[in-house]
Homo-oligomer: A and B are copies of this chain.
Amino acid sequence: MAGNSIGQLFKVSTFGESHGVALGGVVDGVPAGLELTEADMQFDLDRRKPGQSRYTTQRREGDEIKILSGVFEGKTTGTSIGLLIENTDQRSKDYSKIAEVFRPGHGDYTYWHKYGHRDYRGGGRSSARETAIRVAAGAIAKKYLKQFHGIEINACLSQLGPIKAEKFDWSMVETNPFFFPDDTKLESLDEYMRDLKKQGDSIGAKVTVVAKNVPVGLGEPVFDRLDAEIAHSLMSINAVKGVEIGDGFDVIEQKGSEHRDELTPEGFTSNHAGGVLAGISTGQDIVASIALKPTSSITIPGQSINTQNESVEMITKGRHDPCVGIRAIPIAEAMLAITLMDHLLRQRGQNPHVNLEHGPIPAQKPV
Contact = CB atoms under 8 A, between A and B. Distances in A.
Contacts of A234: 231
A177 interface: no
22 contacts: A1-B9, A4-B223, A15-B70, A20-B68, A24-B26, A24-B69, A72-B124, A79-B124, A107-B221, A109-B263, A110-B279, A111-B280, A204-B252, A204-B253, A204-B255, A222-B236, A223-B233, A263-B305, A265-B310, A345-B350, A347-B349, A349-B350
Nearest to A248: B242
Contact of A255 (B8, B229, B294): B294
A192 to B, nearest CB: 11
Nearest to A7: B2
Contacts of A264: 303, 305, 311
A107 B77 contact: no
A345 B3 CA distance: 13
Closest 6 CB pairs of A and B: A107-B278, A3-B220, A349-B349, A3-B224, A105-B260, A202-B256
Bin chain A's interface residue count: 35 or more
A151 interface: no
B113 A217 contact: yes
A309 interface: yes
A184 to B, nearest CB: 19
Interface string A264-295: 11000100111001111111000000011111
Contact of A15 (B82, B269, B310): B82
Nearest to A220: B3
A76 to B, nearest CB: 8
A75 B274 CA distance: 31
A66 interface: yes
B114 A280 contact: yes
Given A4-B26, A345-B350, 20 more contacts: A2-B9, A4-B79, A9-B9, A78-B117, A104-B263, A106-B277, A107-B221, A114-B347, A199-B255, A201-B257, A203-B254, A224-B236, A228-B232, A235-B243, A236-B279, A242-B245, A254-B294, A260-B302, A346-B349, A347-B349
